[in-house]
Chain A
Amino acid sequence: MTVHDVDLVIVGAGPSGLYGAYCAGFRGMSVAVIDSLPEPGGQISALYPEKDIFDVAGFPAVKGQRLVDELVAQAAQADPLLLLGESACELLHDEEGVEVVTDVGTRVRAKAMLLTGGIGTFTPRELPVGEEYLGRGLRYFVRRLDEVAGHDVVVVGGGDSAVDWALALEPLARSVTLVHRRPLFRAHERSVATLHASSVRVLTPYEVAEIGGDPLVGEVVVEKVKEGDRVTLPAQTVVAALGFIADLGPVQKWGLELRKRHVLVDRSMRTNLPRVFAAGDISDYDGKVRLISVGFGEAAAAVNNLAPLVNPALGTTPGHSSDAA
């Protein structure tokens, strides 16, 4: 079990959390940032990395991923400990501080916590059938493509991630079949064109009716929507790329005062729990506006208001960053 000791633990590596990390570094705090996703960026990376964002101050337009990259670079000035791919599960607190325990047992002790958990933890949407094969051939990600080299692969889904997985696996799998329950894909036109020009077998409109094999996946039976014709596909790997669902999850059990799946804060972004602050989409108060730009302001407000808890010698006024060069 790993134990880390920092001044501030931030839960959620979306825009508010990353900016909060920078702010904390500017005040001389040591910071750890925890996020359940394997990459920083929160909703931006998970939902719209390729979209232009027009309402971030100072950027007439910025691509989602570019904004994340810049935020990561800015946060790096705080030299944060990044715990990615780990979900914050438990929150313990005592007189001196808080302790967060993640799903893999990492413990982070801190003098204060900033919760920037957005809309919650992203988990992959389950396949309606065959969920019992998870870990036995059914998977949501392929971490290293060579894990499925030589396999007959069935990819299920109709969005960018399904099409991208199919194309990425095509060169090294024995066969790739892409199954989608509608005739049209919701992916970039260019990837769909590449898909149709590739050796990937495309079955639409089909749904997965059954997965078979013992104990590992051996075949997938797909059924034509409305018509009922069935096709049995040999398969050792099924990649379910049906998108993600976010859920507040364990945060709801920490004793935080909630309002409609958001955490109530006061004007200094303080929650009802000692040493626990919240900012960004997860926080709520009368008049709340859920925008990235508002999240930035809240993160700065939270970090500077919690500074005296981390170090009593610190005031809430950060001074001007332009004087610090």
Chain B
Amino acid sequence: MVYVVTDACVDVQDRSCVEECPVDCIYEGDRMMYIHPDECVDCGRCEPACPVMSIFHEEDLPAEATRFAEINAEFFADLGSPGGARKVGRTGSDHPAAVPPGGGS
């Protein structure tokens, strides 16, 4: 069970969650952040840190955002499990689903 970043993060990328994460598992895409499902230890510190409430526990995802559990996981298809976002820095890329809520670009 892990936490998931949803599209409310798109173009916000406040990164307060990154400061809270004790295992450095929140990675920076070009437009949104992504939580690594294998590295997350389910501590829950990121969720209240998010100023736009974009982070949810996998099981508490709102109906319209359930697909983001997979989206977060799929973002790491190429990156694998680097074991720390600091070493990776800004990835400069995104999952195609990283568009603001309600569509648009």
Q: Tell me if A43 is interfacial: C-beta within 8 Å of chain B.
A: yes
- B20 and A243 form a contact (CB under 8 A): yes
- B23 and A246 form a contact (CB under 8 A): yes
- A245 and B84 form a contact (CB under 8 A): yes
Distance (Å) between the CB of B12 and the closest chain A CB?
11
Name the residue of chain B whose CB is nearest to the CB of A243: B19
Contacts of A281 in B (CB 8 A): 41
Question: Among the listed stretches B27-35, B43-51, B61-69, B70-78, which one makes contact with chain A, having 4 or more residues with CB under 8 Å of it?
Answer: B43-51
Q: Tell me if B16 is interfacial: C-beta within 8 Å of chain A.
A: yes
Bound Cα distance from A290 to B84, whole angstroms: 21
Contacts of A46 in B (CB 8 A): 22
Q: Tell me if B101 is interfacial: C-beta within 8 Å of chain A.
A: no
21 A-B contacts (beta carbon < 8 Å): A43-B22, A43-B43, A46-B22, A47-B22, A119-B22, A125-B19, A157-B19, A159-B19, A182-B14, A186-B48, A243-B19, A245-B21, A245-B22, A245-B23, A245-B86, A247-B23, A260-B38, A260-B81, A261-B39, A281-B41, A290-B42
- A182 and B51 form a contact (CB under 8 A): yes
Contacts of A247 in B (CB 8 A): 23, 83-84
- A245 and B83 form a contact (CB under 8 A): no
Given A260-B81, A261-B83, 17 additional A-B pairs, CB 8 A: A43-B43, A46-B22, A47-B22, A48-B45, A119-B22, A119-B23, A158-B16, A159-B20, A184-B51, A186-B20, A186-B49, A245-B23, A245-B24, A246-B22, A247-B84, A260-B38, A281-B41
Q: Mark A150-177, 1 if CB is under 8 A from B, else 0.
A: 0000000111000000000000000000
